[in-house]
Amino acid sequence: MAELLTNTTDLTKIASAIREKGGTSDPLVYPDGFVMAIQAIQTGTELKIVVSVTSGATVTATKGSLSVSGTSVNGTCTLTVPEAGTWSVKATHNGQTSGTKSVTFTDRYAVTLSFVSAVLNDNDWATIKKISDKGEGANYWSIGDRKAVTLNGTVGTLTLSNYTIYAFILGFNHNAELEGQNRIHFQLGKTALSGGTDVALCDYAYNNMGGGFRMNTSNTNNGGWESSQMRTAICGTSLTSYSGTILAVIPAALRAVLKSVTKYTNNIGNSYAETAVTATTDYFFLLSEYEVFGAKKYSNVDEKNKQAQYAYYSAGNSKIKYNHGATSTAVIVWLRSSAYQAYFVSVKVDGTVDTQFAGYSEGFAPGFCV
């Protein structure tokens, strides 16, 4: 066997490299100490995904044809995967499936999963917003699904105390190119989670001059939707200053997840010019003639060029609404579209389109987006 000569300087360099790689500062004795230190060096690190999720949930990570599963104990499941890269992680528990998260890593990755119920009402508003943010609402819920909203306080002249109304889904990503992406559109409301009655909020002055739920304080539609009292004083236009508006009486959890929506409407009033149709940014809004009926009878003809009928109404659902305080009484409901002279468009008690003097208080059935 050939003998090779080395020197202390070279051995010191090799020993230093071994200690650095092995994460040790122990002295090394040549040759056996070198051999033992090299053997102790881990040649690979276990790749782990640490998942925070409800105890008892089954967690699965997949990457192509590879799949690793485990069960959450005390709120945590640690999965050891065979290779680095991008893994898709989701969980199931009691018939529910969480959202899927993609994780890309080379060593260890921590992720938190939350469950999404197929029953809209079983989810909190924050969860609904997370799904909406990803544009995946239609993957979990359907048009017409409902979520309870408890109203407290005063909107206009109507005071509500622990009044529960059910918001229902009008559409997913409705008219998104113009109105905004990743939004679930809702309308108020219904009286029950299932069945029940379609209602509009009505105040003491219903179908008379006065009250709060009127388009303007006098019989004029000058300024259209944008300048109307209904928009500025009842629907509200600010998430920081909203006393007396519908924004003041909804739960804080809903207010926190509201998304603005761009609505195109006749904002001049008694005008049929194309230039009268302009955009507003709204949190709560009235629906337009075209959004409900899918046709134009009284509104500016150019509104429909910037609008789309809501899927809920295009599916043939009833347009008739009843007084929230007297649910056997059908009511006139305001729409935001201006008509001629002193009128705005409305929905009659039989569910057909009509117009009404702007100064009359009628049913209030606003929409909003999450």
Average pLDDT value for the chain: 92
Pairwise CA distance, residues 215 & 220, whole Å: 9
Mean pLDDT of the region 139-155: 98
Per the CB < 8 A criterion, the answer to whether 151 and 172 are in contact is no
Q: For residue 108, what pLDDT is reported?
A: 67
For 69-73, 108-112, 287-291, which range has the lowest pLDDT when averaged over its residues? 108-112
Q: How far apart are CA 226 and CA 352, in angstroms?
A: 24
pLDDT band at 3 (very low <50, low <70, confident <90, very high): low
Instruction: Tell which phi-psi region holds residue 328, choosing left (phi > 0), alpha (psi between -120 and 50) or beta.
Output: alpha
Query: Could you write out the three-class secondary structure of 46-106?
Result: CEEEEEECCCCCEEEEEECCEEEEEECECCEEEEEECCCEEEEEEEEECCEEECCEEEEEC
Q: What tokens were used for 216?
A: 């303007």
pLDDT-based confidence at residue 184 (cuts at 50, 70, 90): very high
* For range 219-237, the mean pLDDT: 97
Q: Looking at the whole model, is its pTM more than 0.85?
A: no
Confidence of residue 113 (pLDDT cuts 50, 70, 90): confident
Of the pLDDT bands very low, low, confident and very high (cuts 50, 70, 90), residue 324 is: very high
Handedness of CA 284, 289, 295, 298 (dihedral sign): negative
Q: What is the DSSP string of 141-204?
A: --TT-EEEEEEEEEETTEEEEEEEEEEEEEEESTTHHHH-SS-EEEEEEESSSSS--BEEB--T
Give me the CATH code for the 47-116 domain, please.
2.60.40.10
Please list the residue range(s) of the chain that carry CATH number 2.60.40.10: 47-116
Residue 49 burial (CB < 10 Å; 0-12/13-18/19+)?
Answer: buried
pLDDT digits (tens, 9 = 90+) for 241-286: 999 999 999 999 999 999 999 999 999 999 989 999 999 999 999 9
pLDDT of residue 43: 58
